[in-house]
Structures are given as C-alpha cells and as structure tokens.
Structure 1
Amino acid sequence: MELRSLRYFVAVAEELHFGRAATRLHMSQPPLSRAIKQLEADVGALLFTRSPAGVALTPVGTVLLEEARALLDHADRVHVRVSAAAGATTLTVGILGDGTDPGVTRLAAAYRRRHPGIDVRIRDTDLTDPTCGLRAGLVDVALTRAPFDETALTVRALRTDPVGVVLRADDPLARRDRLRLAELSARRWFQFPQGTDPSWQSYWNGGRPREGPVVRAVQECLQAVLWNGTVGLAPLGHDLPAELAVVPLLDMAPSRVVVVWNEGDANPLIRSFVEIATAAYRH
C-alpha cells in the first residue's frame, strides 16, 4: 500500500463523503474513487459501505483507519527528522487576526507535541494581506481567512464562522437581534488600502462598492466604528469593548478559516502542519 493511497483513504474516512474528501485533497472525485477501489482490491475487503446518503466505514475500514493514521504519522516524523538533519528545522507561520482563537491554541499544543525540535516562528499580519506574506516568501504556511486570489496556492478550509456587523453600542441598530446588508446601505464602511486583494475587499464590504475610512488592522477597524460610526464586519464570537456591539447578519456568507501554502511545496513540515491544523479545528 502506497502512502498516497492511505492519505486518500484517511481523507474519505474522516469526511465520510467522497466529494468532500476530493475537495480536501484538491482533486476530482473519479480518480479518488478509483484509488479507493484499488486499495480495497489490495486489502481484499470492502473498506466502506456506500449509499446515496454517503459512506460508512466497514469493520475492516475501521481497523485500517487506526493503522493508517499511525503509519502516516510515523512517515511524517521520518520526513521531519531527515529534514532536521539537513538543516530544515524552522517553520514560519503567518497568522491573520485573533491569535487567541481556540483552534490556534490547540494547533500550537499539538504541533509542539509532534515536533518538539522544530523552531516555529510566527508572523502576525495586518488586514491588507490575507495571505500573510506567503506570496512574498515571508512565511511557509498561513492561517488566515478566505476569500482571496488562490492562484498558485493550495487552500484547505478549517472552519466557517458566521459574521456580524460591528456597531457602537448606542447605535439604534445595535438593539436589533439580526440585520440584513440592505439595512446598512446608507452607512460608511471601512476600506483597505489601494492594491489590497479585490475579492478580500469585496467580501468585507458585503459584496458591493462602499465608501469610508481606510484601515489596516483590526484595532483600526474598531476605532473607526467607535469614533466615526463606521460599519465594520467581524466573525461572531470575538470579544469586543463594552462600547461596541455586534449584530448577526442574515445574508452575509460565513467567513472561512483556512490554512494555505504555496502550490507544489513538498516541505514535510508544512504537510504535517496542515494535517494537525485540520484535526485541531475539527473539535
């Protein structure tokens, strides 16, 4: 059994859906299905029961999942030790936004346990670069939010967060339980500097052109709301000062937390980081 086939199998076993597993693996579904059928032929038993509702592990598949995870973990440790011996002992991670996210906390703890000898360097990024310096070669991998131009990048979704509008606590709309974007059409919205990724700017402006003050950082966004009554958007669940309130938006697409790296980068430290991040954000 090849490691690639086992990685395909683990993805299907964790997603319990060929379509979602194919998306996670950045491949189309037909070759993934063929690879699983070939693996079943190699094993000599069915690994999944298939139905219109999805797939489920067979008893043989359950055993293989446990063994495959252990084998893949060991293979990653081998790659990391070899890379460390060759001098590749540093991983630079770009982070956008709230470093107190419990997903980040779990990821950091799990990565330290798996790779205690690796020096992880963190580069905190402002809101003008959603790829956190990845395109400029400043980081190896980024924890950020989509959408942005994904050309030559590989992106894996970790979580989706509902989004709300940030208002001053004394704003009449702050007393509402929920709002729609149309109810904010007359307000000024914060803007990012010229040259910022257009899809990133469009998302945080609710999908249409807006006017308002230019900001670069989260605190600047919050201060623009506090001082000028500017409309800001933020994922729900973030702590805000008492002077501010957040109201859920009914028609705003959720914000996707993603891990992203340069397409074709085979650094085993990155691959291990992505797998650990996927598990850490699943809880």
Structure 2
Amino acid sequence: MELRTLRYFVAVAEELHFGRAAVRLHMSQPPLSRAIRRLEADVGAALLVRSATGAVLTPAGAVLLDEARALLERAERARVRVAAAAGAGTLTVGMLTDQADSGVRRLAAAFRRRHPGVEVRVRETGLADPTCGLRAGLVDIALTRGPFGEAGLTVRELRADPVGAVLRADDPLAGRERLERAELAGRRWFRFPPGTDPLWQAYWNGGEPREGPVVRAVQECLQAVRWNGTVGLAPLGHAPPEGLALVPLADMAPSPVVVAWRQGDANPLVAAFARLAAAAYRS
C-alpha cells in the first residue's frame, strides 16, 4: 500500500463522498475511484459501500481508516525528524488572519503536539501583500486570505467566511440587517497601495474601482472608518470595535481562508503544516 493511496482513502473515508474527496485532494474523481478500487483489491476486502448519494465504510474500511491515519502520522513524523536532524527544524509562517480564530488555535495546538521540536516563527503581514511574503521568500508557508494571483503557488482553501461592510455606528445604514454593494455606491472606500495584487484589491473594493484613503493594516482600515466615515469590509464572525458596526453584504462572495506555499517546495515541514491546517479547519 502506497502512502499516497492511503491519503486518498482517508479523504474518501472522512468525506464519505467521492466527489467531495476529489475536490479536497484537488484531483478528478475517476482516478480517485480507480485508486480506491486498486486498494480494495490489494487488501482483499471491500472498504466502502457506494451509493448515488455517497459512500459508507464497511467494517474492514473502518479498521483500515484507523491504521491508515496512524501510518500517515508516523510517516509525517519521520519526514519532519529527518528534516530537523538535517538542520531544517524551523518553519516560518506568514499570517494574515485573526489570531483569535478557532482554526488557528486548533492548528497551533495540533502542530505543537505532532512536532514539539520544531520552532515556528510567525511573520504577521499587512494588507498590501496577501501572500505574506511568500513570493519574496520571507516565509515558508502562508495562512492567509484570498483571492490573489496563484501563479507559482499551491493554494488550498480551508474555509470561506461571509463578509460585511464596516460602518460607523451612527451611519444611517449601520442598523440594517443586510446591505448590497449598490447601496454603498458613491461612498469612499479604503484602498491598498499601488502594486497590490489586482485580484485582492478588486475583491476588497467590492469589484469596482473606488476612491478613498490608502491603508496597509487592519487598524488603519478601522481608523479610516471611525474618523472619516470610509467604507471598509471585514469577515463576519467577530464583533467590531466600539463605535463601529459590521453589516452583512448579501451580494459579496465569501472571503476564503487559505494555506499557500511555493509550488515544488519539498520541505516536509511545509507539507505537514498544510495537512494539519486542512484538518484543523475541518474540525
């Protein structure tokens, strides 16, 4: 049994759906189905009962799921220990996400348990670089938000958060249950510095060119709203500071939380961090 095939099986067993597992693994469904059938032939037992609505583990599949998870965890630890022995026991993580996020807390706890000898260096970044220094080689992996240009990068979505408009609490629209972008037409919005990734800029400007102050950090955005009545955007889920309001935007696509790294990076710590991030944000 190859480790890659076991990873395929774990994804299907956890999703209980070949289509969702294929999306999670960033592959098409037919080769995934063939790999699972080869695995069943290899172990000599049916692992899943397929149906039009998904899949269910057989008793043999439930046993293999436990064993596969243990084998994959041991393989991951082995790679990291070898890397640490070779002098690669440090991982630099770029972050553009809320440190109070429950996903971040679960990820940090899981990484500490699995790799207690690895030193994690966190580089918090501003809003002008959604890759958190990844392209510049300042970090090994980024826990950030999309969308941004993905050329040369591997990007995995962990979660998608709805967003809202940040307004002053005395704004006439602040008491609304929800808004649409058209209702904010003609207002001043915050903008990012020249050279900022265009996909990132367009998303946080609601898909249209805007006029308004240039900001580089979350606190600058909030202060622009507080002092000047500028329109900002922010993910829902956290209470805004006193004096500000966060009103859901009904016609804005959710903001994806992603983990990203450079394509072809063979650092086992990067692979371990990405896998643990996926698991932490599924919890």
TM-score (norm 1): 0.97
- Aligned-pair identity in percent equals 75
1:70-149 to structure 2, matched below 5 A, reads 70-149=70-149
Amino acid at match of 2:144: T
Amino acid at match of 2:191: Q
CA contact (8 A) 1:97 1:218 kept: no
Q: What is the match of residue 156 of structure 2?
A: 156
Amino acid at match of 2:180: R
TM-score (norm 2): 0.97
CA offset digits 1:125-182 (Å, max 9, x no partner):
1011111111111111110011111112111111111111100000010011111111
Dislocated runs of 4+, deviation >6 Å: none
**Helix, strand or coil at the partner of 2:148:** coil
Q: What is the match of residue 252 of structure 1?
A: 252
CA contact (8 A) 1:162 1:255 kept: yes
CA contact (8 A) 1:97 1:125 kept: no
Q: What is the match of residue 56 of structure 2?
A: 56
Amino acid at match of 2:23: T
**Helix, strand or coil at the partner of 2:282:** coil
CA contact (8 A) 2:158 2:282 kept: yes
Amino acid at match of 2:212: G
Structure 1: distance between partners of 2:205 and 2:30: 38
Cα displacement (A) at 1:23: 2.4
Q: What is the match of residue 229 of structure 2?
A: 229
Aligned residues: 283
Q: What is the match of residue 169 of structure 1?
A: 169
Amino acid at match of 2:75: A
Amino acid at match of 1:61: G
1:186-265 to structure 2, matched below 5 A, reads 186-265=186-265
CA offset digits 1:18-76 (Å, max 9, x no partner):
22222222222222121111111111122222222222222221111111000000001
Structure 2: distance between partners of 1:179 and 1:210: 18
Structure 1: distance between partners of 2:263 and 2:55: 30
Cα displacement (A) at 1:238: 2.1
Structure 1: distance between partners of 2:16 and 2:258: 20
**Helix, strand or coil at the partner of 2:129:** coil
**Helix, strand or coil at the partner of 1:94:** strand
Q: What is the match of residue 22 of structure 1?
A: 22
State the superposition RMSD in angstroms.
1.1
Range 171-180 or range 206-215, more displaced: 206-215
Range 84-93 or range 201-210, more displaced: 201-210
1:28-39 to structure 2, matched below 5 A, reads 28-39=28-39
Structure 2: distance between partners of 1:178 and 1:207: 18
Structure 1: distance between partners of 2:152 and 2:16: 28
Cα displacement (A) at 1:244: 0.3
Structure 1: distance between partners of 2:263 and 2:189: 34
**Can you give the 5+ residue segments of structure 1 that lack an aligned partner in the other structure?**
none
Structure 2: distance between partners of 1:6 and 1:248: 41
Alignment pair present for 1:5 and 2:5: yes
Alignment pair present for 1:275 and 2:275: yes
**Can you give the 5+ residue segments of structure 2 that lack an aligned partner in the other structure?**
none
